[in-house]
A and B are shown apart, each in its own frame.
Chain A
């Protein structure tokens, strides 16, 4: 790959006041486009080093055309539009175009990212469209094909839009001026029960979080941002895209699939564009540390990389060591590695480790943690626990016990969060909203402890699967297993088993069956793997078949995933 012919992005002309003064996301973009129309703020580059640069004038014009096309199809303020597009200029224009029309955009994964079977994917998108009562689905031709013909009913009345439908309008509809407290975006996130939750975010909350992250990290407009994380993920949409763009930073985006095919592309893009800021889940650092051949790294220079955020799944001390160790000789600064923590209900992150300080790792006593829920420092063979940051501006944490009382330092409990960027509600689910939002505080569903203002993560409260930074509902995987003949229906559990090697969790299942014949068991195991991959795109690393009674249940008959995992813990070693 010859990179020398390509010029790195220009310096930024944008002052920080643009973001400081913004009241809505579309308003911020309008100001940028009006004042700096020629600034090529956005660069999209793929694995063949094909590059597309977009000026703010182009971006604005594209968004206006999407706006006109949607208004012509009946989109009114407050209407939902789902976007199933890969990272690219089209998605960027569509996202803002929906907002210019007063609509609420929601990004969802393109099929190649997650789901193996196209019909399963179409059904899942159909469920979200129906739940959102969406006005339109904007997607590429590949997805559109799924909804033409016999599956058209899955659209639930939403109109189907592809790039070919976006044309120069005869008359441009007026810009919608949004209220700062109106909903700007719906973020879909897997819950443990199955149906994705629609997390409603206001303009005010999103802009507050973006400003808090900018100030917490000390981001300046000349910092170049380089990212491949998917934009349908909260960290992708906000931190890889809106944060740098609205802060005036040169923003480089790589389609996620291109990184997945060639992880070294990420590192070389940082090298080439002199990237200062990049975000990724832990597994991506593990892949780069362990799976990229030396000869593909000759000449690599990562010395520009000031902030390497590690978030969206548990941060492993072993991954930090492996990555910083391997890339130190390529100029990677150990203090650049920046663990962080957040959740979509707070827009994105709420804590980050101080920039320019090395990650903080402590060893805690296994026994004290297990029996007393105390994180006591240990001298010997303890658990390596990584600090995932201090509060960003306008964020506040409390660790609470089961009765809701605040706990002192080093006591493990539920992590509660208060900030000026909390979500407004779960779409059409006031009960669930009331469960997690109490007196202005958010129950984050994570368990952890605090020491001198540093947060440490212990576990998720809910049985959610987080694999490679993406959330999956165990219920969905178990439902697929329950459909396999030979499985005792309702007697399958799945959970994640941490893999230090891969830097993320492997998927494991414990499944009850009355079969005893070894041949039949092998056939059943294959069938279970096949169904799970077809429905979720995930591969089962472990399938443990057990006789009736082998899966733990609570006294009320509910599946006890954690207890089952503990019972068979010795089967998942190695």
Chain B
């Protein structure tokens, strides 16, 4: 794992699960996309479709869920790993916030 992504994961993991920093979560997702999927982070807005656009394939989606789970400590069941919950950075933030509540 590249240093930048790992750094974000560690930072996020250090914050308590009840107070997940949404900006840090977004940065973590962008760092993942930038590295693993070779996407320009500037291209990725909060509402850019990731899965339904074909930018992220099913294997990439599963890896992204793994990174977010490790970083936030929030359990993400396999059946939740889908485009409804993970299609945009904003949706991922909402999903994680919903799981914490």
Contact = CB atoms under 8 A, between A and B. Distances in A.
Given A142-B79, A530-B52, A261 B69 contact: yes
Contacts of B51: 116, 533
Contacts of A532: 54
A537 B1 contact: no
B79 A529 contact: no
Q: How large is the interface on A (under 10, 10 to 19, 20 to 34, 35 or more residues)?
A: 20 to 34
Given A260-B62, A295-B6, A539-B60, A526 B79 contact: no
B99 interface: no
B78 interface: yes
Contacts of B70: 262
Contact of B56 (A115, A296, A534, A539): A539
Nearest to A265: B66
A460 to B, nearest CB: 21
A30 interface: no
Interface string B38-68: 0000000000000111111111101101100
A261 B64 CA distance: 7
Given A260-B63, A261-B63, A115 B58 contact: yes
A468 interface: yes
A261 B66 contact: yes
B75 to A, nearest CB: 8
B2 to A, nearest CB: 8
A296 B67 CA distance: 13
Contacts of A529: 53-55
Nearest to B79: A142
A292 B9 CA distance: 12
B55 A260 contact: no
A538 interface: yes
A260 B58 CA distance: 10
Interface string B63-101: 101100110000100110101000000000000000000
B54 A539 contact: yes
B58 A116 contact: yes
A110 to B, nearest CB: 8
A257 interface: yes
B53 A261 contact: no
Given A260-B63, A526-B53, A114 B58 contact: yes
Contacts of B79: 112, 142
Contacts of A384: none
Chain B interface mostly: helix
Contacts of A47: 66
A86 interface: yes
A540 B55 CA distance: 8
A42 B36 CA distance: 34
Given A112-B78, A142-B79, A291 B65 contact: no
A292 B35 CA distance: 13
A293 interface: yes
Contacts, number: 70
B55 A257 contact: no
A532 B78 CA distance: 22
Interface in A494-542: 526, 528-534, 537-540
Contacts of A296: 1
Nearest to A468: B59
Nearest to A532: B54
Residue of B51, B57, B79 most packed against chain A (CB within 10 A): B57
A537 B53 contact: no
Contacts of B60: 539
Contacts of B75: 48
Contacts of B56: 533, 539
A104 B62 CA distance: 31
Nearest to B80: A112
A537 B57 contact: yes
Contacts of B53: 526, 529-530, 533
Interface in A83-136: 86, 112-116
B55 to A, nearest CB: 7
Given A293-B1, A293-B6, A533 B57 contact: yes
Nearest to B54: A529
B78 A86 contact: yes
Given A116-B51, A116-B83, A261 B62 contact: yes
B54 A291 contact: no
B54 A292 contact: no
Given A262-B66, A295-B6, A257 B78 contact: yes
Contact of A539 (B55, B69, B78, B81): B55
Nearest to A257: B78
Nearest to A291: B1
A-B CB proximity, top 3 nearest: A261-B66, A529-B54, A539-B57
27 contacts: A47-B66, A112-B78, A112-B81, A115-B58, A116-B57, A116-B58, A142-B79, A257-B62, A257-B78, A260-B62, A261-B62, A262-B66, A262-B70, A291-B36, A468-B59, A528-B54, A529-B53, A530-B52, A531-B54, A532-B54, A533-B52, A533-B53, A534-B52, A534-B54, A537-B58, A538-B58, A539-B57
Interface of B: 1, 6, 36-37, 51-60, 62-63, 65-66, 69-70, 75, 78-79, 81, 83
